[in-house]
């Protein structure tokens, strides 16, 4: 025979991963079954299906962000003469037996045996690319000129 204990939701603090916004829990009464046999489900009798869906959606979004941990914003100190004022969006992808750090906006990549090496290589490549394109500005195809313009949206030359 089950006995019911009534507890208010405000007695509990939701458990959240660090850095995540708390999932709102509607106020109301939480019913818990106390029994020698542990129940498989706890029934939140006052939570509407819509609110449950909202919590599930939030969890899915959190999962999605965790999956995307291999996407990052990258603003390295690439060269003493340059300052990256707007970070590059970079994807880390396994490729060719190593790891690539790919900046799709400028179609450039760094490569290495691990993530750190790939990002380091990407930083150096971005600096090289910037100086090379800037020095040949007059001879660039429209496509490469577009790459230079994109680079200039991220990078400022701080020393000549």
Stretch that binds another protein, among 7-15, 17-25, 52-60, 122-130 (CB under 8 A): 122-130
Site membership for another protein, residue 128 (CB under 8 A) = yes
Site membership for another protein, residue 142 (CB under 8 A) = yes
Smallest separation (angstroms) from another protein to the CB of 119: 13
Find the binder of another protein among 78, 82, 125, 155 (CB under 8 A): 125
Q: How far is CA 35 from the centre of its chain?
A: 43
Cβ atoms of residues 81 and 158 within 8 Å: yes
Can you give 26-80 as a three-state secondary structure string?
CCCEEEEEECCCCCCCCCCCCCCHHHHHHHHHHHHHHHHHHHHHHEEEECCCCCC
According to DSSP, the residues that pair with 116 across neighbouring strands are: none
Binding letters toward another protein, positions 74-113, x by CB under 8 A: ---------------------xxxx-x-x----xxx-xxx
Tell me phi and psi for residue 47, to 5 degrees.
Answer: -90, 125
Q: Which two tokens stand for residue 101?
A: 């750090």
Cβ atoms of residues 92 and 113 within 8 Å: no
Smallest separation (angstroms) from another protein to the CB of 95: 4
Site membership for another protein, residue 143 (CB under 8 A) = yes
CA count, 13 A, side-chain hemisphere, 122: 32
| Cα(143)–Cα(133) distance, integer angstroms | 11
Measured from the CB atom, the residue of 44 and 111 that comes closer to another protein is: 111
Site membership for another protein, residue 25 (CB under 8 A) = no
Stretch that binds another protein, among 28-36, 40-48, 76-84, 126-134 (CB under 8 A): 126-134
Smallest separation (angstroms) from another protein to the CB of 141: 5
Q: Which residues bind another protein (CB under 8 A)?
A: 95-98, 100, 102, 107-109, 111-113, 121, 124-125, 128-129, 132, 136, 139-144
């Amino acid at each position: 025979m089950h006995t019911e204990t009534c507890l208010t939701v405000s007695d509990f603090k939701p458990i959240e991963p660090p850095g995540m916004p708390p999932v709102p829990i509607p106020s109301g009464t939480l019913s818990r079954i106390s029994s020698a046999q542990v129940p498989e489900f706890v029934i939140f009798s006052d939570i509407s299906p819509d609110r449950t869906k909202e919590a599930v959606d939030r969890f899915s979004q959190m999962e999605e962000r965790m999956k995307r941990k291999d996407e990052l914003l990258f603003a390295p100190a690439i060269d003493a003469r340059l300052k990256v004022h707007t970070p590059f969006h970079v994807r880390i992808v396994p490729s060719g037996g190593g790891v690539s750090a790919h900046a799709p906006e400028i179609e450039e990549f760094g490569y290495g045996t691990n993530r750190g090496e790939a990002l380091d290589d990407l930083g150096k490549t971005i600096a090289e690319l910037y100086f090379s394109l800037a020095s040949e500005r007059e001879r660039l195809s429209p496509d490469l000129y577009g790459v230079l313009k994109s680079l200039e949206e991220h990078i400022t030359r701080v020393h000549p």
